[in-house]
């Protein structure tokens, strides 16, 4: 049966959860490694909607400056593309609401709930083409090919001007991000480590030693 040429590309990966026969259940994600940048969006919007270059960047910068102020005050921020709010969690297990103290709470992240119209527009774009399965090599097989992994590492480092990240290495090696992180961390250990990991902002970067 010929492979489908159209439709939204997706990948399938095993999960730790197993069925009654002990076989791992599968989950699907959009194809990894595909992305558009804000610069590309500005070019596209400039050509299609005559929006001047730099306007979107300034809008996003203003939003990131103002929205956290309101979210820190407990507000949800409603926009045409969806709602943004702070996501909270408890640092410890508590069963009685009266036992919760202010220092038991921490920020988990930002919760985003897409607008129904935004989701509807995506469904329209996917339309009758549906989805296209992109089959990639199984991570366990890739992990055994050290030469291939080292070549992928060098490609990623060159692309990032001297360092790599989990997402970048996953893209060049065709590993899942879980397996990519595992391999990068492995290169950071031992008597003669290949890489050094450091934290920059909210991301981990890996540089050669």
| 66 domain residue, yes or no | yes
Query: Does 95 lie in the same domain as 54?
Result: yes
The pLDDT of residue 86 is 97
Query: Does 204 lie in the same domain as 147?
Result: yes
pLDDT 10s digits, 12-48: 877 878 889 888 888 888 987 778 888 899 999 999 9
Task: Please tell me which residue, 72 or 13, carries the higher pLDDT value.
Answer: 72
Q: Any idea what DSSP says for residue 19?
A: -
Confidence of residue 138 (pLDDT cuts 50, 70, 90): low
The pLDDT of residue 32 is 74
Query: Does 197 lie in the same domain as 141?
Result: yes
Above 50 in pLDDT, residue 1? no
The pLDDT of residue 137 is 63
pLDDT 10s digits, 161-173: 899 999 899 888 8
Domain end point (choices 54, 80, 113): 113
Return the CATH number at 181: 1.10.10.10
| 21 domain residue, yes or no | no
Above 80 in pLDDT, residue 119? yes
Distance CA 52, CA 184 (A): 41
Distance CA 61, CA 80 (A): 17
Ramachandran quadrant class, 82 (left: phi over 0; alpha: psi -120 to 50; beta: rest): left
Query: Does 142 lie in the same domain as 87?
Result: no
Domain hosting 162: range is 137-208
| 7 domain residue, yes or no | no
Distance CA 29, CA 6 (A): 17
CA distances from 193 to 25, 117, 181, 189 (A): 35, 50, 15, 5
| 150 domain residue, yes or no | yes
Query: Does 158 lie in the same domain as 107?
Result: no
How many structural domains are present in the chain?
2
Domain end point (choices 47, 80, 113): 113
Query: Does 155 lie in the same domain as 108?
Result: no
| 95 domain residue, yes or no | yes
| pTM listed for this prediction | 0.62
Query: Does 158 lie in the same domain as 92?
Result: no
- Please say whether the beta carbons of 110 and 71 come within 8 A: yes
| 12 domain residue, yes or no | no
| 188 domain residue, yes or no | yes
Residues 6+ apart with CB under 8 A from 27: 12, 13, 15
Query: Does 85 lie in the same domain as 43?
Result: yes
Q: What is the mean pLDDT of residues 85-106?
A: 96
Return the CATH number at 57: 4.10.520
| 143 domain residue, yes or no | yes
């Amino acid at each position: 049966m010929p492979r489908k040429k159209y439709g939204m590309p997706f990948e399938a990966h095993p999960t730790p959860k197993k069925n009654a026969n002990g076989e791992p259940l599968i989950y699907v994600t959009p194809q990894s490694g595909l992305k558009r940048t804000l610069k590309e969006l500005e070019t596209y919007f400039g050509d299609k909607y005559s929006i001047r270059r730099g306007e979107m960047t300034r809008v996003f910068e203003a939003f990131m400056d103002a929205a956290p102020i309101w979210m820190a005050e407990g507000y949800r921020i409603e926009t045409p593309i969806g709602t943004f709010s702070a996501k909270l969690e408890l640092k410890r297990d508590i069963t009685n609401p009266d036992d919760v103290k202010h220092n038991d709470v921490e920020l988990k992240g930002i919760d985003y709930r897409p607008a129904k119209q935004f989701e509807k527009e995506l469904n329209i774009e996917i339309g009758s083409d549906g989805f296209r399965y992109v089959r990639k090599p199984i991570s366990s097989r890739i992990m055994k090919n050290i030469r291939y992994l080292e070549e992928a590492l060098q490609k990623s480092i060159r692309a990032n001007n001297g360092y790599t990240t989990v997402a970048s290495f996953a893209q060049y090696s065709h590993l899942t991000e879980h397996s990519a992180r595992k391999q990068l961390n492995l290169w950071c250990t031992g008597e003669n480590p290949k890489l050094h990991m450091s934290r920059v902002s909210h991301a981990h970067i890996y540089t050669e030693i």
